[in-house]
Structure 1
Amino acid sequence: MIGHLTGKLLEKQPPQLVINVAGVGYEVDAPMSTIYVLPHVGDAVSLFTHMVVREDAQLLYGFATRTERDLFRALIKITGIGAKIALAILSGLQADELAVAIATEDTARLARVPGIGKKTAERLVLELKGKIGSMPAATGGLKLAAPEVTGGRGDVLHALLALGYNEKEAAHAMKDMAADIDVSQGIKLALKQLARA
């Protein structure tokens, strides 16, 4: 199996890439989260990969971090989630955002990803809750363990995520917030903090 590729990026046509490794061009499908951090065409690139061998095809999927690949592997084990939907999930949510959505059972956030309905979002939470936080953090300081969200803080986090802020922004805005804060007061304070940033 092919677990890693290092070579020259020949083509970038999302979601597909072509990477030249010692004269062989590997076609690799990648989520947008990986494509956003790729170098320019012609530059050196290194990706973690997952290979799928079927009767009619050999498919290669590439990821910027080991964590993304681990998440992809966890997603495709879920009934009804194929590689295309797993790539869509990783394209629509950063790994840390996915971890928070699973940990806080935020099915509405998951259902906003194209191709994910309410039932699929509920299945994702059911299958992945408690598993994602145990994955190793990605290189680059990405943390998958979701922050402890209880009481008013949890509701404030949900509100900020619903407003379109990512988990990192929300965590920054809530860093000095008391766990039992009144929700409306917490949202006002968080929004003021975000406006200053």
Structure 2
Amino acid sequence: VVSVLSPDALRAAIASENIPALTKVPGIGVKGAQRLVIELKDKINALAAVTGPATPASAAPLQWRDQVKGGLEGLGWSSRDAERACDSVAPMVDDDPATPVAVLMRAALRSLAK
């Protein structure tokens, strides 16, 4: 779910009962989206009142790097190779900060395959 919608977008979609936004997530149909809204709307609203935004703006730029590096290390790549791959995809994030982590991960894997 988080690979398609950011945590804030997910929270907003559930709070506003935006079923079409939730059905964009692979594997979630209309019924699943409706169930998410029914089960999580009150919890999302209560959590938003207590915590505010999900992530500070300053943490977002580094979040993709941690996710890609962790994913590569989980696949067996060394920390050094994972860092090198993150460096190779960093220009993609500079061009478009909203680039999904899945796209960055695929690009990083391609750079390691060379």
Shorter-chain TM-score above 0.5: no
Q: Which of these two proteins has the greater Rg computed from alpha carbons?
A: 1
Which one has more relative contact order, counting CA pairs under 8 Å at least 6 apart? 2
Higher helix share: 2
| TM-score, length-scaled by structure 2 | 0.41
- Structure with more strand by fraction: 1
Q: TM-score, normalization: structure 1?
A: 0.27
